[in-house]
Chains A and B, each alone.
Chain A
Amino acid sequence: MQKVVSEISQVKHSLTKNRSEHLGKDVWRDFVIPRFFNRVDLISTMPTRLEGGRGSGKTMLLRYLSYHSQFSRNRISIPDNALERIGLYWKADTQFLRLMQKRGVDEEVWLPVFDHYLNLKLSLEVLSSVVSIMESNHAGISQNDIDVVVFDGAKDFGFENESFTLVMREINSRIRQTEVIIQNVHGLESLNKLPISFLQYIVQTTITLFPALKNTMFSVYVDEYENLLGYQQRVINTRIKHSEPPIIFNIAIKLNGMSETLTLSDEKLENRADYSIVNLDSEIEKSGFDSFVAEIFLKKLTEASPTISKDINIDLSICSSPDKLDDRHQKEYEERCKTIISNIFPGRSHQDLADEIFETPRYYNKLIYEIESALKQRDSELSAEDFLSPQFRKAMIVCTSLLYRKSLAVPHIHDQLKKLELGVENKFTNKTAWEHNNFIGCYLRIIRANKASSTFYSGFDVYSALSGGNVRHFLELCKTAFSLIDDNSLSENFTVDRKLQHLAARSTSEELIKEINRFTPLGTQLSNFVKAIGKVFQLCQDKETQSETEVTHFGIKEDDTPLTEEDDRFFKEAEKWGVLKAIESTKNKSTASAATFDYVLNPVYSPFFLISYRKGRKIEIEASALRMMYQNGETAVSAELRKQLRLSHVIDAINQPKQASLL
């Protein structure tokens, strides 16, 4: 028993380590190979631009591809062909690299300094990779091999030494000297700058002098490329453009992160001709996000708790092997993963939600109250009792909005309900589908006053949908859910109660909204916007009539004023940070601005506003109003805007708890 309890705390801990950064550069043991891995060519001689939002696993993937993981000491047997491609990972230290500009020095002077620094850093990586291979379980390189290597051309570059170890040490020392010079500017002009031919020399000599590396190609992966200065991006672009074996340059960026396509000559970097784009978000989605996160979660679980996973009876070690990808795409295996995780995070059907309303006195009272007030508003002779339908709970709940609609006669709705009860064709369940189209909206409106008792955001499928394709968000949700249960209870029954899941989703959502402020440089505006647009969606979903059910995305109208460049930048940033997702608009506009797209709010923010996470309807909002929203936040949702959006009559959700507590 004690053992299980301690394992549970391990499980919780393993969920907090959900950023690659926590794992260091060697991710061999923890990495779940993405399910698309064999479908995209990440290791060819064609440079790759790997793009994806925050939390899509870019860094993790790059670290997996780098020598730190491929030649990890945790990798017991390393095949010979691992030497064919050695990945070098380089993440720019942006605080420092951004000091390589201005300061009384021209860009033409800074550029060769950056180039020199890059050459030193990458040369060091090349040599470090050789040392890693020597220390790994691969027998290709021995200490003796390293000891006898002589870089006899190093002197031509002004080096004092020739041996492998001393050249490496000298590179290190030159890196430090360069850093001090960059820090203080003094000495910049007289710095002995190493050209790219130095890096080429190091690479060429390394593969010539180590027989095991004779077929080796080095792949450089530049992480967080978007943080580099323009000219620094141009330096990297030039290297991409002229990539050829034995050294290929690749980059990883956030969406919309590539502002610079120029190289150092007049040539532009062209998609397809010069590099191929791999979009991680869409690849993950295409290859089955549900299955992927289920595997990641279960792998963490099995590693942290052998006792609990004993009963699971599934082999997740295949997740670490690129050869086993086909097995992971077997239907049976995928179903098995989902079943196991759905047992841990049990979900609810619409019927369950309807039952919840009937069985929770507060909700039930609110249901009756809504029917009564609708009937009163419509001056109907029918009473709430005429709509009582305990056998057809969903239909009765849907009546809370149908009855408000002026377009529907009250007796007609009553008729249809009676028909449903009699089992004959009716608008609740036939192709008009009142029930299907309106249930969630009506449900959310009823529970709003007392959100904590709900189970709306529960179930693996819901958690997966809330994550919006972002692995990190999924793990955050799971982590919060587990944190609400003590280890002893979990050791008795390893499952998360639906109510707790709902609470966890709300609290995770709130935390993630707080985090938006940190999405530099427009964090405040992004945060303002999310609060405002969330409010708008909330009001839409709160409409009595539910005539616009589940509004979760918006389009941009440019009737009053067109989008400005600043607006465009805002939407690009929102997309870059995954706050909004752009989708093809049904409109066909000729402009190339953000207005050609519709935008969906990241579903992970929906629990905070208690709104639907499903892609529902769209609302058109004026560009000027959207601008106000990112500038001023929630206050931008003024009476005037409400009027424009036909939301004037919706009772403010903030006032609602008071109203409900009277019941």
Chain B
Amino acid sequence: MIELRSTYSADEYSFPFEFSHGFVGMPIDDRSQYSIEFVRQECQSTSLFQYRQQTLDVVIDGISIECHLLDEHIAKSKPTSILVDSTSLDIPELALILKALHTCSGARIVLLYVEPIEYTSGESKALEQEDFTLSNEISGFEGAGIPTVSMPIDDENLRRFIIFVGFEGGRLQSAIETYDISSEEARIYFGLPAFKPGWESRSMRRNLQALSDQSIGGRIGYCSASSCTDALNSLRKAKASDEGTINYVVPLGTKPNSIASILFTLENPKSVRLLYDLPNKRNGRSRGIGRRHYYHYLVP
């Protein structure tokens, strides 16, 4: 069981100690530029970590490493306290980093997440009005999964799909279609309250459309868009606990909810699997620097 604690600050906060290691991704907007700089300040050494979808490997500070060798690679540097910037890192990177760190028992991990002030909506053409344009291209659930993380859908066992939804309704629809998800199998979570009042209605509108189109009336739940602990608790509740059911977590929502999804798979390696559609994030998808969230846990 991962004991997760979370807190946030409206202004910059400096940790009373220095982290041994930091992981950051590439900056794509104001807030990720800020968060990367922050991590660099707070850590003895900071690594730029990138997952390459084409070659299915990772590049750490310019050196490529196969995903299945990542555990050893990270363990070599004996990390004791790690600050991970989840603002600039995407789900595959976070899943890979956290999985590798999970072998370092006792390590202190803090995940940083910086909210934007606003998301940019796409061209204001009639069609896109409802959709935030957050992704350039989505590999989709038909693309390759994440090495060492993805497992196939198991037809022999019962299935439960726990899905966090966000602004892009089409992704929910793809998930339902690709995996033939039925009403009974689905547990859908909306990020509520959203980062900002009013955002939830957009997310609802697009996703409810998908749900009604697919006649999914499964159980719908809510958990705070910005809370990782809330999401983790929701997952623990939504999980089917019987032996014969495999749980599939599909993080299509906010980053804090996605982090919870990853932690949840680490907590239950046998009965929980992660499904992800690898969108290619658009540059400048958000503006401004909002609240800073810190999620803290010790590797059990």
Interface residues of A (CB under 8 A from B): 13, 16-17, 19, 21-22, 24, 93-99, 101-104, 172, 179-180, 183-186, 224, 227, 510-511, 513-515, 517-518, 520-521, 523-524, 531, 633-634
Task: Take A99-B56, A634-B125 as given contacts and tell me if A524 and B180 are in contact as well, using a CB distance cutoff of 8 Å.
Answer: no
Partner of B150, one of A99, A172, A515: A99
* Minimal beta-carbon separation of B200 from chain A (angstroms): 20
Contact B127 A514 (CB under 8 A): yes
- List B26-83 residues whose CB lies under 8 Å from chain A: 55-57, 66-69
Contact B180 A24 (CB under 8 A): yes
Q: Does B220 sit within 8 A of A, measured CB to CB?
A: no
| Stretch touching chain A among B15-23, B170-178, B191-199 | B170-178
Nearest to A94 among chain B residues (CB) is: B142
Residues of B within 8 A of A19 (CB): 177
Interface residues as binary, B143-186 with A (CB distance below 8 Å gives 1, 0 otherwise): 11101111111001000000000000011011001001010000
Nearest to A15 among chain B residues (CB) is: B215
Residues of A within 8 A of B209 (CB): 511
- List B109-165 residues whose CB lies under 8 Å from chain A: 123, 125, 127, 131, 136-145, 147-153, 156
| Assembly CA distance A184 to B212 (angstroms) | 38
* Minimal beta-carbon separation of A89 from chain B (angstroms): 10
Could you jot down 18 A-B contacts, CB within 8 Å?
A16-B212, A21-B177, A24-B180, A95-B143, A99-B56, A99-B145, A101-B56, A102-B56, A102-B57, A103-B68, A183-B149, A183-B150, A184-B148, A511-B213, A518-B138, A520-B139, A531-B127, A633-B123
Q: Does B245 sit within 8 A of A, measured CB to CB?
A: no
Partner of B174, one of A22, A103, A513, A518: A518
A-B contact count, CB below 8 Å? 110
Contact A98 B143 (CB under 8 A): yes
Task: Take A172-B156, A523-B138, A524-B137 as given contacts and tell me if A518 and B145 are in contact as well, using a CB distance cutoff of 8 Å.
Answer: no
Task: Take A95-B152, A524-B137 as given contacts and tell me if A16 and B57 are in contact as well, using a CB distance cutoff of 8 Å.
Answer: no
Contact A99 B138 (CB under 8 A): no
Interface residues of B (CB under 8 A from A): 55-57, 66-69, 123, 125, 127, 131, 136-145, 147-153, 156, 170-171, 173-174, 177, 180, 182, 209, 212-215, 275
* Minimal beta-carbon separation of A186 from chain B (angstroms): 6
Nearest to B171 among chain A residues (CB) is: A518
Contact B215 A17 (CB under 8 A): yes
Contact B127 A510 (CB under 8 A): yes
Residues of A within 8 A of B148 (CB): 183-185
Contact A103 B66 (CB under 8 A): yes
Residues of B within 8 A of A510 (CB): 127
* Minimal beta-carbon separation of B176 from chain A (angstroms): 8
Contact A104 B139 (CB under 8 A): no
Contact A179 B138 (CB under 8 A): no
* Minimal beta-carbon separation of A413 from chain B (angstroms): 37
Nearest to A635 among chain B residues (CB) is: B123
Contact A186 B68 (CB under 8 A): yes
Residues of B within 8 A of A513 (CB): 127
Residues of A within 8 A of B137 (CB): 520-521, 523-524
Extra pairs beyond A94-B141, A103-B67 (18, CB < 8 Å): A13-B215, A16-B215, A17-B215, A22-B182, A24-B180, A95-B142, A95-B145, A95-B152, A99-B144, A102-B57, A103-B147, A172-B156, A183-B149, A183-B151, A227-B142, A514-B131, A520-B137, A633-B123
Name which of B149, B171, B173, B214 has the most chain A CB atoms within 10 A of its CB.
Answer: B214
Task: Take A104-B66, A518-B173 as given contacts and tell me if A96 and B151 are in contact as well, using a CB distance cutoff of 8 Å.
Answer: yes
Contact A103 B180 (CB under 8 A): no
Residues of A within 8 A of B136 (CB): 524
Contact B56 A520 (CB under 8 A): no
| Assembly CA distance A514 to B182 (angstroms) | 23
Contact B66 A515 (CB under 8 A): no
| Assembly CA distance A183 to B96 (angstroms) | 12
Contact B141 A95 (CB under 8 A): yes
Name which of B123, B170, B180, B212 has the most chain A CB atoms within 10 A of its CB.
Answer: B180
Residues of B within 8 A of A22 (CB): 180, 182, 214-215
Nearest to A634 among chain B residues (CB) is: B125
Partner of B170, one of A94, A97, A184, A514: A514
Nearest to B145 among chain A residues (CB) is: A95
Contact B173 A185 (CB under 8 A): no
| Assembly CA distance A530 to B193 (angstroms) | 36
Residues of A within 8 A of B138 (CB): 517-518, 520, 523
Nearest to A14 among chain B residues (CB) is: B215
* Minimal beta-carbon separation of B156 from chain A (angstroms): 6
| Assembly CA distance A520 to B173 (angstroms) | 13
* Minimal beta-carbon separation of A448 from chain B (angstroms): 14
Contact A521 B139 (CB under 8 A): yes
